[in-house]
Amino acid sequence: MEGTPVKEWLTARELAAEALPDMPETERGVQMLAERLGWADSMAYVRNRAARGGGLEFHINLLPPVARLEYERRHRQIVRPEPQPQPEIVLGEGLTDRAARERDARLAIVAAFEAFSQGQRLGDAARSQIFVDRYNLGAIAVDPWIRETVRSLSKRTLARWRSAKFMGRADRLAVDRSAARKGKGVLDTAAGGRLRNFVLALIAHQPLLTAAQVRVQCGAEFGRELIDHETGSILALPPVRTFQHWLKTLKETEKVLLTRLSDPNRYRSNMAPSGTGTYRWVRQPNTLWMIDASPVDALCIDGRHTIYACIDIATRRTVFYVSRTPRAAAVGMLMRKAILAWGVPQKVKTDNGSDFVANETKRLMASLGIEMELSDAYSPQQKAHVESVIKTFQHGCAALLPGFVGHSVADRKRLEDRKTFAQRLGEETAETFGVSLTGEELQRIVDQWAETIYARTPHSGLKGATPADMAAGSAATIRTVDERALDILVMPVAEGGIRKVTRLGIRVDHRHYQIGEADVGQRVLVRMDPMDAGRVLAFDADDGRFVGIGKCAELSGHHPSTLVKARKELVNERYRAASKHVRAEIKRLVRGPALINKALEFAAQTVPNVVALPKREERHETPAIAAALDASARPTSAPRAMDARTAALHAELTAAPIAVEAGDKVRPLRRQETSHQRFRRARDLEARRAAGEALSEDEAFWLGGYSAGPEYRAMRAVYEDAGGEQLR
């Protein structure tokens, strides 16, 4: 129980001062009444007064019933229900407001009776009768809404309410007779509730259907007879009037559901759960931007344009860009404009529009080191700041523009209706709405509005400060980008972006662009110059470095042969220096030791210093091996003596190596035969063979291998070109 605290212990003087009914009004009279009734014999209700002067204090339970009730009425002004332990009391689910009000009022009356009964020595029936009588007379102090809900009371009703509370069944105290049949009619329960869902689908799909049309559709779907699941009886399809009343109630009770199904934008704006302060953590400028786009609610001479908006969450500064059509290039121009004005942001949030998720937009964000965050599909509330800015622009700026067409179809109809039919007859849309602005003029007006009006208007999200004040008062560091580099990064990328350089250059829109600095086979990212269709910029597709500028002969006004010649000169110049060093290395390799010798020497250095143990051997013999041994034992003819020239050449080639001193050691230097010497030796052997002279086995073997090699063919070609002159 909640109420004003009551003083329960009183002296005889205080009781006399109360002037209660059935009680003396003097201190002596009260003392004599206490002696006559024997109050002093009740040790539980009499105590010594602790204050100075002593005496006795009496508990209010000793007072006569009427005096006690009057005392309670005076000092206990408001009686409210005690908080009920929720787990122990069944409060019911789905109660209407009226039923919940009935339940709470009855619980309050039961709590008032319990407070009234405290300390009473009367029986339950007597206390109930006295409480009911005094409640009906208005002598029980309760809140006005309780008395308005329960105007009269009986002992039986009070007993029933007390029993329901004691049993933990507070839901039995909730009664709403107007809702007793709510949701239980034949149209609600027919076909197990499918008819109700069918009608909800009809209304959501076509909100303008009349009750008669809904009745026809229900008859076609479920037949002319319906089963009442409440009673099990079969009833005829209700008349149109019943459908009218039922549809009115259904639309009211399912308003949120129908709005969500038929008008998602209105549901998100007015009914969907939402919160505030989601981005209060953003305190520094350029921490988070939001960007979005929407058609301008005004027409221009060159058509209807799209407004792109960017807002800095911390300062609420806004930049707008007007574009003829929604595309990724417009997003790039919006970002360029905002970055030049504010600096580079850390994060940009946008929706899943095609112009925002395009590869060109993602590439721009990555090139600038900006984190890109996408909101969930069909969730504009996740970027409510920029949505609000666009709405502010439409109502605060677009509504004042010549050519304003309204914010909705209904607005546009009202604007069209301003003129009579005769005035509008034969008029074009531009004439009807007074269109006079071009896209460039619209951009200029939008920039002025954002700078002079929006930026200077106090913002509730900034606690009354203006966006201009917030931006001016910030001391945060601004990251800047050179405008020339930014201009290149926002250039539109060729379709597909990546091209592979061929002998003809790169191909863009069925035309070839010559890039002198690019190598054949190199993959490049191509950016189109919006100011010159015949010019492109190429960047390496792997590391992003600038490769060169490409020119198209057809679009740049140059002759194709001129561009090809210039490309060849650039390529030759680039490779001339590199090839010079490579050619020198090739010459050194040709003149130096053979590659096989270097390989063998390197392998010899890596052979492990391990001595293998001798293996057991046994002679293997076959008839063929025996025959070969017999042939080798026979004497062979002595080799033919060499002539003087061949002997001299042989002596030169087989001369002992020359010893060269190297520090304290002497190492042999193997004499190497030059290519001219080898070719001269081969020519001599060929001359001997041509003269009928028999060559030795070693000479014939060497000549056969050498004449089949590339050196012999090359030296022979040189020899023949020289007119057959012998090489020396």
540-580: per-residue pLDDT in tens? 888 778 888 888 877 777 777 777 777 777 777 767 777 77
> Stretch 367-377: mean pLDDT, rounded?
89
> Which of 537, 553, 573 is a domain's end point?
573
Q: Do the strands 318-323 and 9-10 form a parallel or antiparallel pair, or are they unpaired?
A: unpaired
pLDDT of 335 reads 92
d(CA 406, CA 398): 9
Same-domain status, 71 and 164: no
Classify residue 682: in a domain, yes or no.
yes
Same-domain status, 224 and 169: no
- Residue 308 binned pLDDT confidence (cut-offs 50, 70, 90): very high
pLDDT of 250 reads 87
Going from the C-alpha of 183 to that of each of 201, 253, 519, the distances in angstroms are 17, 10, 78
User: Is pLDDT above 50 for 284?
Assistant: yes
> Stretch 318-326: mean pLDDT, rounded?
88
pLDDT tens for each residue of 713-728: 888 887 776 665 544 4
Check which CATH number belongs to the domain holding 57 and give it: 1.10.10.10
Domain range for 56 is: 9-75
pLDDT tens for each residue of 585-625: 888 888 888 888 878 888 877 766 666 666 677 777 788 87
Give the DSSP per-residue string, 345-357: -SEEEE---TTTS
> Which of 573, 592, 620 is a domain's end point?
573
pTM of the model: 0.47
Instruction: Let me know the angle formed at the C-alpha of 275 by 270 and 278, rounded to the nearest 5 degrees.
Output: 135
User: Is pLDDT above 90 for 449?
Assistant: yes
What sections of 177-210 are H helices per DSSP? 186-189, 194-205
> Which of 225, 244, 270 is a domain's end point?
270
- Residue 421 binned pLDDT confidence (cut-offs 50, 70, 90): very low
Classify residue 631: in a domain, yes or no.
no
Same-domain status, 198 and 318: no
Q: What percentage of the chain reaches a pLDDT higher than 90?
A: 11
Cβ-based neighbours of 556, under 8 Å, separated by 6 or more = 532, 534, 535
Contact 420, 284 (CB under 8 A): no
What sections of 211-327 are H helices per DSSP? 211-222, 240-253, 255-262, 264-266
| Pick from 84-88, 147-151, 320-324, 595-599: least confident | 84-88
> Stretch 138-153: mean pLDDT, rounded?
86
pLDDT of 78 reads 46
Same-domain status, 249 and 332: no
Classify residue 422: in a domain, yes or no.
no
In whole angstroms, what separates CA 686 from the centre of its chain? 84
User: Is pLDDT above 70 for 241?
Assistant: yes
The domain tally of the chain equals 6
Same-domain status, 370 and 265: no
Check which CATH number belongs to the domain holding 454 and give it: 3.30.420.10
> Stretch 440-468: mean pLDDT, rounded?
90
Q: Cα-Cα-Cα-Cα dihedral of 576, 579, 583, 585, to 10°?
A: 140
Classify residue 717: in a domain, yes or no.
yes
Classify residue 408: in a domain, yes or no.
no
Tokens for 123?
């029986």
Same-domain status, 299 and 441: yes
For residue 525, which phi and psi values (nearest 5 degrees)?
A: -95, 125
667 or 103: which leads in pLDDT: 103
d(CA 468, CA 455): 5
pLDDT tens for each residue of 166-186: 877 766 676 555 444 556 677
Residue from 252, 251, 253, 256 nearest 273 by CA: 256
d(CA 104, CA 170): 9
pLDDT of 728 reads 45
Classify residue 590: in a domain, yes or no.
no
| Pick from 88-102, 146-160, 711-725: least confident | 88-102
403 or 220: which leads in pLDDT: 220
Same-domain status, 312 and 456: yes
Same-domain status, 374 and 457: yes
Query: Number of helices (H) and strands (E), helices first, in the chain?
Result: 30, 18
d(CA 47, CA 537): 105
Q: How far apart are the first and last CA of the chain?
A: 131
Same-domain status, 285 and 265: no
Classify residue 603: in a domain, yes or no.
no
Going from the C-alpha of 678 to that of each of 213, 672, 725, the distances in angstroms are 110, 10, 16
- Residue 598 parent element (H or E): helix 595-606
Same-domain status, 461 and 556: no
445 or 672: which leads in pLDDT: 445
Classify residue 81: in a domain, yes or no.
no
Same-domain status, 164 and 311: no
Average pLDDT over the chain, rounded to whole?
A: 79
Same-domain status, 464 and 319: yes
